Structure 1
Amino acid sequence: MIASLFSKSKPINFFVVLFITLLAFVMARISLENQSVTIAFVLKQFAVFLLCCMTILVVNFIISKNNLTKKNNYHILLYSVFFLTFVQTTSDVNILFSNFFFLLGLRRIMSLRTERNVKKKLFDAAFWIAIATLFYFWAIIFFILIIVSLLLYSDNDLRHWIIPYTGVATVFILAVCTSIIVTGNYFDLFQLKLEIGRDFTSYNSVKYLIGITMLLSFGIWSSIFYLKNLKSKKKSFRASFQIVIIAFLVAALVIALAPIKTGSEFLFGFAPLSIIIANYLETIEEDWFKEVFLSVLVVVPFVLLLL
């Protein structure tokens, strides 16, 4: 039933996704019951929720614009379900902003396939990823995707290899100038944590273990078929599909390097993982297996709320 409902793009699907995202958002804030409810607090929470919704819309735009899935809504359902699996991802504002700007950068990277306005797209991609880094330092690793895209598109224009660094330099200069104006010092505005987190004990709970196991098992299984079917994709879109799998690997690295393991860092892997699993769902011919596969992904997060 779930698979058949989301097998086609329908307005009701977005309402379901909105409900799941709202539920994740509310569950993440139950622990804030002692927080005094003021107008400022309500407005801030509304803005954060709006950011969560905008993130899903950006992911949907990237996928539809680059034909990364067929005309279905599996990807947005999966993204909202991932929110529910790790409800704390709706709480860390810095990571939410960092992931949002990373997705804007990914959007520009994906659009390189058209080979139009390449210089502008490379600058924009680097610019957005650099801004993402201001909110969460290890997001800088996603800069690798720009290099990979240039390699995949066999770009031999030296200027195209230099332009991304000008995008990063632009953000750095603007950030330093802002810091001087606001704080009177060059780098006081920067809140970059360069350390690497080696303490994974925070993941040692039933909720985390089940959630991580589900994402890893379903993600790895789907990735096998995703890679297997790459050759069947249209040549003009093949590089985009390759960038997705690399984005998933880079996101895994970002998660591993996270200075403080709160679970919010898993947000960086939601977009590529939702695309990979959605592509696998499209290849399943047995309707009953597709329903079971998707139902497990949807039901387990709801069960985790009871633990």
Structure 2
Amino acid sequence: MLRRFFASSKPINFAVIAFIVIAFLITFLLANSPALSVWDLILRQLGVLLGFMITIGTLDFVVKKNVLTRKNSYAVLCFALFCLALPSVFLHLRIIFAGLFIMLALRRIFSLRSKTDTHKKIFDAAFWIFVASLFYFSSLLFLILLYFAILFYCAGNYRNWLMPFASLLVVALLSTTYAMYTGGIMNFIAGYRVLPTYDFTNYSSPELLVPLTFFLALYLWTSLKYFILLNAASQRHKPAFVLVLIASIIALVSAVGFAPVRDGSEFYFFFGPLAIISSRYVEKGKSKWFNELLLWAIVALPVVVLFFL
């Protein structure tokens, strides 16, 4: 039933997902801030909600435009539910905005497969990655993904390899100008480079241990099927599928190796690739009842975390 409902990409599907996100977000925030009213919470979290919904819309565009899945709502649904399972994501406005800019960068990276306006697309992708790093430093790791895309789609022109440095110069000039009119350049640099922490004790708490274990198991299980689909994919679409896997690895490295805070929000960048990989499994899996059960498990995870852990 759930699999059949989200097997299409209609406005009602996105309306249901938006309602689920808003309802869970309000419930979570009320539980953590009981002194505030619903409307106060909505006004305070409006930027988070808008940034998150735009990110969902951009993810859907990237998935559909590059045929990373079929025309369904599985990827958007999974992404939203993964985030709700680690609701600490919504307490970090900087991560939400960094995730939005990374998603905009992914939009340009995957569009390189058309091999038109490559210079502009590379510049735009690098620009959004550098902007994202202003909010979350380890976002810079996604430059690796950009260079893999250049290798796959347009490696022949040496200018393509140098174009990200033009984006770096533009962002550096804009950031320096902003810093000079605010707290000063040294304060800006100190706030830009945030050192990671390697204290993983928070991961032993049930509200983090349960969802992270689920995500790891889901990633390992669905990736096996994804590799099979990857080998069977056409030469035209195979690079895009490889880029999804590379993006998932980069996001995991960012979360495990460079996160300044260990509250679950550091896995936010991982949820996009995981949602795509999981969606491919649900739509391509031979066992319909198992795929249905998997979707229900993904839906139940935020409920378990919010109300029982």
Over residues 243-291 of structure 1, what are the superposed CA-to-partner deviations in whole Å (9 max), with x where a residue is unaligned? 1110000000110120111211111111111000001111112221111
Over residues 155-183 of structure 1, what are the superposed CA-to-partner deviations in whole Å (9 max), with x where a residue is unaligned? 12111110011112210111011110223
Aligned-pair identity (%): 34
How far apart are the structure 1 equivalents of 2:36 and 2:253?
35
Note the C-alpha offset of 1:298. Answer: 1.1
Paired residues, number:
305
The residue type equivalent to 1:69 in the other structure is T
After TM superposition, the runs of 4+ consecutive aligned structure 1 residues lying more than 3 A away are 34-39, 41-44
Residue 56 of structure 2 corresponds to which residue in structure 1?
56
Residue 92 of structure 2 corresponds to which residue in structure 1?
92
How far apart are the structure 2 equivalents of 1:67 and 1:94?
30
Over residues 114-139 of structure 1, what are the superposed CA-to-partner deviations in whole Å (9 max), with x where a residue is unaligned? 00000000000000000000001111
Task: Give the conservation status (yes or no) of the 8 Å contact 1:69–1:275.
Answer: yes
After superposition, where does 1:92-171 map in structure 2 within 5 Å? 92-153=92-153, 155-171=155-171
Residue 243 of structure 2 corresponds to which residue in structure 1?
243
Residue 272 of structure 2 corresponds to which residue in structure 1?
271
Residue 189 of structure 1 corresponds to which residue in structure 2?
188
Residue 260 of structure 1 corresponds to which residue in structure 2?
261
**Cα root mean square deviation, aligned:** 1.7
Residue 289 of structure 1 corresponds to which residue in structure 2?
290
The residue type equivalent to 2:188 in the other structure is L
The residue type equivalent to 2:86 in the other structure is F
Task: Give the conservation status (yes or no) of the 8 Å contact 1:79–1:271.
Answer: yes
**1:216 to 2:216 alignment:** yes
How far apart are the structure 2 equivalents of 1:299 and 1:153?
40
Residue 172 of structure 1 corresponds to which residue in structure 2?
172
2:297 is paired with a residue whose SS is helix
How far apart are the structure 2 equivalents of 1:300 and 1:47?
25
Residue 299 of structure 1 corresponds to which residue in structure 2?
300
Task: Give the conservation status (yes or no) of the 8 Å contact 2:102–2:129.
Answer: yes
2:307 is paired with a residue whose SS is coil
The more displaced of 188-197 and 99-108 is: 188-197
The residue type equivalent to 1:10 in the other structure is K
The more displaced of 108-117 and 80-89 is: 80-89
Q: Any stretches of 5+ residues in structure 2 without a counterpart?
A: none
How far apart are the structure 2 equivalents of 1:231 and 1:134?
37
The residue type equivalent to 2:187 in the other structure is D
2:8 is paired with a residue whose SS is coil
Note the C-alpha offset of 1:192. Answer: 2.0
How far apart are the structure 1 equivalents of 2:130 and 2:22?
29
1:305 is paired with a residue whose SS is helix
How far apart are the structure 2 equivalents of 1:23 and 1:252?
28
The residue type equivalent to 1:150 in the other structure is I
Q: What is the TM-score of this pair, normalised by structure 1?
A: 0.94
Note the C-alpha offset of 1:200. Answer: 0.7
How far apart are the structure 2 equivalents of 1:58 and 1:117?
20
Task: Give the conservation status (yes or no) of the 8 Å contact 2:115–2:153.
Answer: no
Note the C-alpha offset of 1:299. Answer: 1.3
1:28 is paired with a residue whose SS is helix
Q: 1:111 to 1:46 in 2, by over 3 A?
A: same
1:108 is paired with a residue whose SS is helix
After superposition, where does 1:20-39 map in structure 2 within 5 Å? 20-30=20-30, 31-35=32-36
Task: Give the conservation status (yes or no) of the 8 Å contact 1:111–1:121.
Answer: yes
The residue type equivalent to 2:261 in the other structure is I
How far apart are the structure 1 equivalents of 2:296 and 2:39?
39
